[in-house]
Structure 1
């Protein structure tokens, strides 16, 4: 890999760090770049999972002031994200890539549609939370299961995982979109961290690629937190939908 290619990979990592923190879908930027510089698809996927994990953690830390809601919810969702990330990494190691990638366009389309109509759906589906002591509302159970499934997907490939998480959580949590995005960043950090740890010990890793992606993504995570925090909810939602649609186009054309 020559100097120009190395700079290109680092720049892609920086852009992915910004994108993952603000919206999600940073993999849509880095994966094609890695393929373009000659990295085989499976190795590019592994390098993405490991190299972008530090950026996810950086974004989560930088966005922590927006994090709100019950502590038990955060802990439960993080536990689900860790379990999903571990299962997704296992799938990446043992299943053919085409098995899971075949449903990626459907997942992205569903996420974009959910987010686009979220205000209408929320008004239609909102119910009072169960006030009986010690009983977890069904909505919270659905939230945890949804985080588990989205994190499983994230541990396997992860493109548009942030879009999926925000779309689902915005339907199930009564909070500002910025607060939901802060939780999304924490869950992505947990998911990516666990899957990266497993892949580090269980697969062949190109550490030069990983180092370049990690360096760029850490800086991008901090920049993304500064940018994302200043975006109004309406425009924030528009940006997420646009990124999701672009991701869908990338996969369909690919």
Structure 2
């Protein structure tokens, strides 16, 4: 019951804000699964969140096929790289860098207008494709708030309804999770019962999320996502010591 309910919450927060792991990862730890196994189990289970979000956001995803395909190629490459890094290296370095990245993402969401104006002005600008690839590496490696980072990049780089950006984010992040989950399924200590229960809840929650995004005013939603991301950054910074 705990895992399924946590999955519903993770699916909602993931499809609406990119913060699924804020709910799902602590739930897995609460059931007694060790951290590395919980991280890998979480990645596998959250595939259901991408499926549910994609199904629930069919209206927003119309006409986005080429864009999603291009970004998904980058996400798959980055997700595989991140998964391999998780298997070969300790997580201490990432744990110290991640809070700062999440704060930057939250600020980009809060101050989207000025940041977008800066990004779109003539001259050199950081390439979006590189940012998507790097975020996918992080997503495959650790994952907490990867959706917020990707959402922040897409919100700044593209002028479109927030619900469309959010839907594209969910599908592209799912592509990064897919390759990492496949690798973990073959080589990692995935807890399959927990993954199945969590995934069932994620499928339900993520299917509801896009409809809520569609009906929620953009500015309050962006603000709520940014505040939640800042809280997560504070917690991760405290945990990293």
> TM-score, normalising length from structure 2?
0.92
Change (3 A) 1:124 1:99: closer
Is 1:253 paired with 2:238?
yes
What displacement does 1:210 show?
0.7
SS at match of 1:103: helix
Counterpart of 1:159? Answer: 144
What displacement does 1:209 show?
0.9
Counterpart of 2:56? Answer: 62
What displacement does 1:36 show?
2.0
Counterpart of 1:93? Answer: 87
Counterpart of 2:184? Answer: 199
Instruction: Quote the Cα distance in structure 1 between the aligned partners of 2:48 and 2:231.
Output: 25
Counterpart of 1:143? Answer: 128
Instruction: Quote the Cα distance in structure 2 between the aligned partners of 1:8 and 1:70.
Output: 36
Instruction: Quote the Cα distance in structure 2 between the aligned partners of 1:32 and 1:71.
Output: 34
Given the alignment, which residue of 198, 213, 216 partners 1:228?
213
CA RMSD of the aligned region, Å? Answer: 1.9
Does structure 1 conserve the Cα–Cα contact (< 8 Å) formed by 2:41 and 2:190?
Answer: yes
What displacement does 1:76 show?
1.3
Given the alignment, which residue of 19, 23, 43 partners 2:13?
19
Instruction: Quote the Cα distance in structure 1 between the aligned partners of 2:27 and 2:177.
Output: 20
Given the alignment, which residue of 26, 37, 40 partners 1:46?
40
Q: Tell which deviates more after alignment, 145-154 or 67-76.
A: 67-76
C-alpha distance after superposition, 1:15-70 (max 9, x if no partner): 00111000011111121222222111001101100011111221122113112666
Instruction: Quote the Cα distance in structure 2 between the aligned partners of 1:212 and 1:8.
Output: 9
What displacement does 1:72 show?
3.5
List runs of 5+ in structure 2 lacking aligned partners: none
> TM-score, normalising length from structure 1?
0.88
Aligned residues between the structures: 239
Instruction: Quote the Cα distance in structure 1 between the aligned partners of 2:5 and 2:159.
Output: 36
SS at match of 1:229: helix
List runs of 5+ in structure 1 lacking aligned partners: 1-6, 129-136
Instruction: Quote the Cα distance in structure 2 between the aligned partners of 1:109 and 1:160.
Output: 10
Instruction: Quote the Cα distance in structure 2 between the aligned partners of 1:125 and 1:220.
Output: 34
